[in-house]
Amino acid sequence: MFDLDNDGDLDIVTNDFNSAPQVLVSDLAQVRNIHWLKVVLIGTHSNRNGLGATVRVQAAGQTYTKYNDGKSGYLSQSVLPLYFGLGDATKIDLPALRFEYHSAPLEHLINNGKTIRVNYHAPGSGDYLVIGDARYQLTQFHFHHPSEEYVHGKPYDMVAHLMHEATDGTVVGVAVLLKAGAANPTVQQLWDHMPANVDYENDVPGVDINPANLLPQSLSYYTYMGSGTAPPCVEGVKWIVLETPVDVSREQIEAFAKLFPHDVRPTQPLNGRIVEESR
Ligand SMILES: [Zn+2]
């Protein structure tokens, strides 16, 4: 929240990690010790929203003061660690993701005129995303060209959206960013059997598919609350964007783009929403 190194963007002051107060500079990679840190909390809310603070910090021979009204940013709900949302990603401890996906016959492959999608109908896929104690069953996955997500201001070549639902109706979308590189065997299976007819669900005998093969090895992620990206764009969807992109070949991108040149919803303003990034 201070530009300590005068490079035009904001640095973060923290006393996380069981250490003395520190400054994380810009990209969080550099750490500098600071001499003292004074925080005066404003307001009575114990939650992230509505709790402001005045923070004074001395570093590099200067004293900086930052007033936060608790409306434009937020304060961590725990006293330690302490951090402010900057309207940008903040690295924090997020629960690990576990994908319990398995191989199954390729069924319900559909070209709905906007994308290629694999549907899983009742009783369900038996494929789960597990976050802590919560289990979300895979209900369908589909693709966009280019990606609907912008990371540091840029879209990727494509994105796969894996949509999950808990028994209480909570929806979690996982976005896997796709970039031009090596051919992707799982994508190839889908493209090879892409239905020519719109809105016709194809079962593909003799072909097994495992959605786990669409995932990167590293499961670090960004997360934010958003909405479905296709009409009616229902709100309350938790989005998880895996940070590590997965390769698809230039030919695979072009094959999809020929059918669906631009099947994306424009990016939406954050409107105070916090994007969190796992370590
Ligand atoms: Zn989508």
- What span, in angstroms and rounded, lies between the C-alpha atoms of 279 and 277? 7
What CATH superfamily is the domain 97-278? Answer: Alpha carbonic anhydrase (3.10.200.10)
Q: How far is CA 15 from CA 48, 83, 203, in A?
A: 17, 9, 55
Report helix, strand or coil for 187.
Answer: helix
Q: Which is nearest to 103 in space by CA: 138, 127, 77?
A: 127
Q: How far is the CA of 146 from the centre of ligand 1 (A)?
A: 11
CA separation for the pair 268, 276 (Å, rounded): 16
What gap in Å lies between CA 73 and CA 10, rounded to an integer? 13
Where along the chain do its domains lie? 12-86, 97-278
pTM: 0.66
Express each pLDDT in 196-226 by its tens digit: 788 888 999 999 999 999 999 999 888 877 6
Is 137 in contact with 101 (CB distance < 8 Å)? no
Query: Do you find a cis peptide bond into 81, omega within 30 degrees of 0?
Result: yes
pLDDT digits (tens, 9 = 90+) for 134-178: 999 999 999 999 887 776 667 889 999 999 999 988 899 999 999
Q: Is 242 exposed, middle or buried (0-12, 13-18, 19+ CB in 10 A)?
A: buried
Strand partners, 91: 277
Rounded to the nearest angstrom, the distance between the alpha carbon of 24 and the centre of ligand 1 is 34
CA of 117 to the centre of ligand 1 (A): 10
CA of 279 to the centre of ligand 1 (A): 25
Which pLDDT band, with edges at 50, 70 and 90, does 10 fall under? low
Give 19-51 as a DSSP string.
SS-EEEETTTTEEEE-SEEEEEEESS--SSTT-
CA of 142 to the centre of ligand 1 (A): 6
Mean pLDDT is lowest, of 16-30, 109-123, 133-147, for 16-30
User: Maximum Cα–Cα distance for the chain, whole Å?
Assistant: 71
Ligand 1 centroid from CA 159, angstroms: 8
What do you get for the CA distance between the two ends of the chain, in Å? Answer: 19
